[in-house]
Amino acid sequence: MTITASICTDIYAIIMLFITIWLANRNPIGNRSNNKIYISMSVLTIALLVLEILTVLIGLSTNSNLVIPHRIANVLGFTLSPVVPFILLNCYNGKNKALKNRLHAILLCINAIMCIISYRTGWIFFVDDRNQYYRGELFLIPMIISTYYFVALVIDVIKSIGDFRTENNKLMISIYFFPMIGAILQIAFKDILLIWGSMAISLVFYYILLRELQFRYDAQTGIKNRLAFDKEMGKYINSGKNAAIVVLDINYLKRINDRYGHKEGDDVIINAARIIKESFISIGEAFRIGGDEFCVICEETTKESVDAALINLEELLIEANKERTIKIEMAYGYDFYRKSENESIYVIFSKADYAMYDHKANSKRLYGRGVTD
């Protein structure tokens, strides 16, 4: 790859990232926190691409006055190189792997210290008095750490494949492979500069994927929406799989909206969705199918598992309501779709829906309330 081609590739990558940052600012992807993380990673990648271009251009000159800026640019570039994959890995791991994330952070600190020391020692890189750049004896360390983060990320994603909550992981793996392969090639061939161009491509694809996922998720609650629900139901028409269909509905939402306002009503919806998702997280996928209506599809599960999830839901409601002025109450019902019985899954949904309304009516009669919400 020629120097001109490398610079052109980096410039195109910068332009693509600026476009996705502009789009992400106009229309956030996911929640506010995830959107900020994406923009931060994109800005950091742009900075690394700019540093890469600067080191290439500065390295063309033999002017000794450029030695210091050349060294500083390399210190910054090698120090920041593993930061983007580190952020990606930490975001994927979340809070459940705090110890593992701390160990990853130690690697990042070691890399930063070695890169700063290399300004004088030439361990990672060396820029001589004639402004000529050479790889140091420990040049591979930043590249190996970056590659390690990507490999760890791909392994974590592969481990979770098959889990119904991460159906897009196969696509995620292909996205993460781009910079991983770029890093490996850059290690093997010193004249090839691919890692940050490929990282930029990955971030653009990642943006496209997140944007596509927004069509499947309810923006208010973060769980899957009616479109995703209809698609999931359609899978059972031609498959041989069985499922439990659980229909849930928030009681008295209209009354809450009328008495306390829609902001409080929205808070009830958001927390109800969280409780439903948490209750069924080990056996099913939660969907918001209407304003106050939810459904959980539990593939190949048992009545005992569904009952246990509903007991968990009741316990979580009791716990949440201890801290709430406006209580969350839900009605629910369920039925089982069995392929061998030749009943449409939509018929089973109707039965579950009827069972939910029966539960709602019984609950309100129990407390001396009218049936109409």
Predicted pLDDT at 5? 67
C-beta of residue 60 within 8 angstroms of C-beta of residue 124 = no
Predicted pLDDT at 366? 55
Q: In whole numbers, what is the pLDDT of the chain averaged over residues?
A: 85
Predicted pLDDT at 43? 93
pLDDT band at 209 (very low <50, low <70, confident <90, very high): confident
Predicted pLDDT at 159? 64
- Angle value at C-alpha 192, between 81 and 150, nearest 5 degrees: 40
Question: To the nearest whole percent, how much of the chain has pLDDT over 70?
Answer: 87
C-beta of residue 20 within 8 angstroms of C-beta of residue 206 = no
Predicted pLDDT at 244? 95
Across 72-76, 139-143, 312-316, 329-333, least confident range: 139-143
pLDDT band at 108 (very low <50, low <70, confident <90, very high): very high
* Residue 285 CB neighbours (<10 A): 20
Residue 118 has pLDDT above 90, yes or no: yes
| Average pLDDT, integer, range 222-233 | 90
C-beta of residue 247 within 8 angstroms of C-beta of residue 348 = no
> Residues 120-159: pLDDT tens digits?
999 999 999 999 988 899 988 888 888 888 788 777 766 6
Euclidean distance between CA atoms 146 and 108, whole angstroms = 9
- Helix extents (H) in the chain: 3-26, 32-58, 67-80, 83-93, 98-121, 140-160, 169-188, 195-214, 226-238, 253-260, 262-280, 303-321, 345-366
Residue 231 has pLDDT above 60, yes or no: yes
pLDDT band at 239 (very low <50, low <70, confident <90, very high): confident
> Residues 288-323: pLDDT tens digits?
999 999 999 999 999 999 999 999 999 999 999 998
Q: What is the pTM of this model?
A: 0.65
Highest mean pLDDT of the ranges 229-238, 319-328, 336-345:
319-328
Greater confidence (167 vs 76) lies with: 76
| Average pLDDT, integer, range 24-29 | 83
Residue 369 has pLDDT above 50, yes or no: no
Q: Which long-range contacts (CB under 8 A, 24 or more apart) does 44-47 make?
A: 44/80, 44/83, 44/84, 44/87, 45/13, 45/17, 45/84, 45/196, 45/199, 45/200, 45/203, 46/14, 46/17, 46/18, 46/200, 47/80
C-beta of residue 176 within 8 angstroms of C-beta of residue 209 = no
Predicted pLDDT at 372? 46
